[in-house]
Amino acid sequence: MVEEIITVFCICDDYLNAVGYRDNCQTRTSSAEVLTTAIVSAKYFGGNYSRSRCFMKSHNYIPRMISESRFIRRIEAIGDKIIRGLFEIMARTFKLANPENVYAIDSFPVPVCLNARISRCKIYTEQKYMGFCASKNEYFYGLKVHMLVSKSGRPVEFIIKPGSYSDISIARQFKFDVKLQSKIHADKGYTDYKFEDYLELQKNISFAVQRKSNAKRRPRGYCGKTRKVIETTFSQIVKQFAKKIHAVTAKDFELKIVMFIFAYAMDFLVAT
């Protein structure tokens, strides 16, 4: 645990210094320490900032810890651009560790509340957040995390969208910044012949989709065993969730989901 916390802090601090991010001279707790505490909260405390703050302070990792309200303002002030940039650095490392250039794409739901409490949900109020999870055969209210992972389960790209958005519609928004002649495995929900042709002709990427029984095309090298790697990845990420992800705003809720993904991805960097 000590090595993991130190590794996370070093990665965050080095990245912020590399991009020229500077804290105010009167800051008690650096942005690297704030980011580290947020990731530790996702890894060990189910996203509970309060427990993570108390742990980091009581064990002298961050003796000058700020208050919880200020901590939340600080983590939000860092900005999505900085956080996404840090993830892209990790993603490059994961791509280099994937010489086979084999990937898998899929999505998993993150409910914001139980279905019986949808009418009382204040974070999200629109119908677009009502989605359907085919693997569980049930409806949910919240978000979907769409993710591209390597053959070994390392995340290289992700997008968070409302639950009603289909997998293939979000797949069209992915950058697919992978090497030429890479192969991406997907389930039946990603069936789109024009999109497959676009990836093959414009990006030289083979999109191997599991075919439906009435499909007009045959499978192009689809391997169910390879695609199941992403299901294991999702289960490992969801396992970190608390019974309820506490958040006051939609931004805070989505930020905590990102931190859960970071906590999972950091395990691979610590292992290396």
Q: What is the pLDDT of residue 243?
A: 82
Helices (H) and strands (E) in the chain, counts: 9, 6
pLDDT for residue 271 = 63
Instruction: Kindly state whether residue 25 falls inside one of the protein's structural domains.
Output: yes
7-to-268, 271, 272 alpha-carbon distances in Å: 11, 10, 11
Look at residue 26 and tell me if it is in a domain: yes
Query: What is the percent of the chain where pLDDT is above 70?
Result: 97
Average pLDDT in the chain: 88
pLDDT tier, 272 (very low <50, low <70, confident <90, very high otherwise): low
The answer on 208 and 142 residing in a single domain is yes
**192 within a domain of the structure (yes/no):** yes
Residue 132 and residue 39 in one domain? no
Check whether residue 214 and residue 143 sit in a common domain: yes
Instruction: Let me know whether 164 and 191 are in one domain.
Output: yes
CB 230 within 8 Å of CB 153: yes
pLDDT at 213 over 90: no
In a domain, 115, yes or no: yes
Cα distances (angstroms) measured from residue 23 to each of 7, 17, 38, 104, 119 = 21, 10, 17, 38, 41
Lowest mean pLDDT among 69-83, 94-108, 147-161: 69-83
CA 220/CA 209 separation, integer angstroms: 7
pLDDT of residue 146: 95
Structural domain includes residue 88? no
Number of structural domains found in the chain: 2
Number of residues that make up the chain: 272
Q: Do residue 122 and residue 195 come from a single domain?
A: yes
pLDDT band at 130 (very low <50, low <70, confident <90, very high): very high
Residues 121 and 142 in one domain: yes
Residues 112 and 61 in one domain: no
Tell me, yes or no, whether 121 and 199 share the same domain.
Answer: yes
Encoded tokens for 223: 């391997």
**Residue-level pLDDT at 73:** 87
Q: What's the pLDDT tens digit per position in 25-45?
A: 788 888 999 999 999 999 999
Q: State the pTM of this model.
A: 0.90
Q: Identify whether 23 is part of a domain.
A: yes
Amino acid (one-letter) located at 55:
F
Residue 84 pLDDT > 80: yes
pLDDT at site 245? 86
Domain containing 73: what range?
Answer: 1-78+250-272
Query: Which of the four pLDDT bands, split at 50, 70 and 90, describes residue 94?
Result: very high
Q: What is the pLDDT of residues 159-197, one digit of tens each?
A: 999 999 999 999 999 999 899 889 999 888 888 889 988
242-258: per-residue pLDDT in tens? 888 888 889 989 999 99
Lookup result for tokens 């500077």: 22
Q: State the pLDDT confidence band at 222, using cuts at 50, 70 and 90.
A: low
As a whole number, mean pLDDT of residues 209-229 equals 76
Query: Residue 129 above 80 pLDDT?
Result: yes
Residue 113 has pLDDT above 70, yes or no: yes
**pLDDT in the model for residue 187:** 87
